[in-house]
Each structure stands twice: as structure tokens, then as C-alpha cells.
A = this chain, B = another copy of it.
Amino acid sequence: MKGLTERLGNCVLFNDMDVKEVANVLEKVEYRVNPFGKEGIIAHEGDECTSLGIVLEGYIEVRKTYASGKTVVLTKLYEGNIFGEAIVFSKLHRYPSTIVSMTDSKIMHINRRDVIALCSSYPSVLERFMEVLSERILMLSRKVRELSYETLRHKICSFIMEMFEKQKSNILKVPITRQNMAEHLGVQRPSLSRELIRMKEDGLIDFDRDTITIKDIRALEEFLT
């Protein structure tokens, strides 16, 4: 059976560290480790979140429970994953969903103030923590932008401009199937085909099976604004 040090070394917050440093952290920092059984509730929706959680062993699910009793799985977390990292530092620090252990599991909890202490003492942990939060912000911002496009043509324009940025050519190699492209844009394949044809008719692009040729980049950009 693996020791606590190795388990923790897997965690995104500590994987800059070697075994010795992790052992050092475990000596210096306040924490607690709680075991949960299958279907054990790690946190209820609405509970105060006063600590950062780290999955040391097992696998857990984040679930939204509705008054009707129906539940929906939002995320699955495995060994080394953390949870509550944004909640614990927010003003209204309450869990927005329920966290359930799916197997026998061991969960490490570090209180808010001890996370602060941990970050103060170990800059590498601080950096990793910041990176986790930052990447999350960028990912969510991207998602908001994508979801904000109003029409299919907007989405296609954005998709084309992204490829253009990468390939820096007016003749774009489309590396995925229409089906995949449609899924990526969140629409039906025939809808995508239809709109591509319309854009061709409107003189914006030309296309065949695996390339899209930009005919009027101005108009494509104009569309995105």
C-alpha cells in the first residue's frame, strides 16, 4: 500500500516537489485525513466549505441533487485531484453541489488558513495553486465566449478564424470529419453542411471535403463583432 507522501506527490499542487519536500510539508502543515465508504457523503450541497479537499485514494463524484430526488453527476474526481479550491476562498463559501465517495476513499482536508500558511511557506505550491485557478479561469472564459455566439454562422466564423490563426493560410486543412466538426460546434451535421453551403453562396468561403478556403476574411471577421 502506498504511503501518504507518494499519494500526495500525485496531487497537482505538489508535483513540483520531490518526496522529501512532500514529507516535510506533511510535518509542517495542519491537515486531517478522513476515510469514506462507498456512497459516503463528503460534503452536502449548502454546507460551509472551510477546507480544501484532496483525493488521496478512491474515486468521488460531484453531484447536483434536486428536490425531486433526482441527481446529476457533474464531475468525477480521482486520486490526486482537488476540490473546493475556488469555493473555500470565495465570499459565500458554501458547496454548490454534493460530493459523494464512490468507492472506499481517503480524503485529505486542509483548512483555509492552513492552505494560506502552506502557500506562504512553499512558493511552489502557491504557484501550482495559482496556475490551477488561472487555467480554470481561461478555460471558462473560452467556454463563455463560444457559448455566446448567437448563430451557427458565428460559430463557424470563429472556428475558421481559429484555424486561420494556427495555419496562417487562406486554404485551411480541416483535420476532422464534418460529424466531429458539428459536434465541436454543438450542432447537427446537416445544419452545418447547409450553413457552409450558404456561406459559399454568399462568397465568404469555398470548401470541399477536407479543406475550407477563405474568400472574404474581412466579412468573416466583421461577423464576429
A197 within 8 A of B: no
Provide the bound-state CA to CA distance between A131 and B133, in Å: 11
Within 8 A of B (CB), among A78-132: 85-91, 116-117, 119-121, 123, 126-127, 129-131
A70 in contact (CB, < 8 A): yes
Residues of A within 8 A of B (CB): 66-68, 70, 72, 85-91, 116-117, 119-121, 123, 126-127, 129-131, 133-138, 140-141, 143-144, 147-148, 217-218, 221-222, 224-225
**Set B72, B91, B137, B143: member contacting A136, Cβ < 8 A:** B137
With a CB–CB cut-off of 8 A, which chain B residues contact A66? 221, 224-225
When distances are taken between beta carbons in the complex, the residues of chain B under 8 Å from A67 are: 217, 221
Contact of A68 among B88, B129, B140, B217 (CB under 8 A): B217
Q: State whether A89 and B123 are in contact (beta carbons under 8 Å apart), knowing that A144-B140, A224-B66 are contacts in the complex.
A: no
21 inter-chain pairs at a CB distance below 8 angstroms, sorted by A residue, are: A67-B217, A68-B218, A68-B221, A70-B222, A70-B225, A86-B133, A86-B137, A89-B127, A89-B133, A90-B131, A90-B134, A116-B123, A116-B126, A119-B120, A130-B133, A133-B134, A133-B137, A136-B137, A140-B143, A143-B144, A147-B148
Report yes or no: B225 in contact with A72, Cβ–Cβ below 8 A. yes
Docked Cα-Cα span, A89 to B135, in Å, equals 8
A143 nearest CB neighbor, chain B only: B144
Distance in Å: Cβ of A215 to nearest Cβ of chain B: 14
Q: Are B134 and A89 in contact (CB under 8 A)?
A: yes
Partner of A134, one of B86, B119, B131: B86
B221 touches A135 (CB 8 A): no
Cα-based distance from A24 to B222 in the complex (angstroms): 49
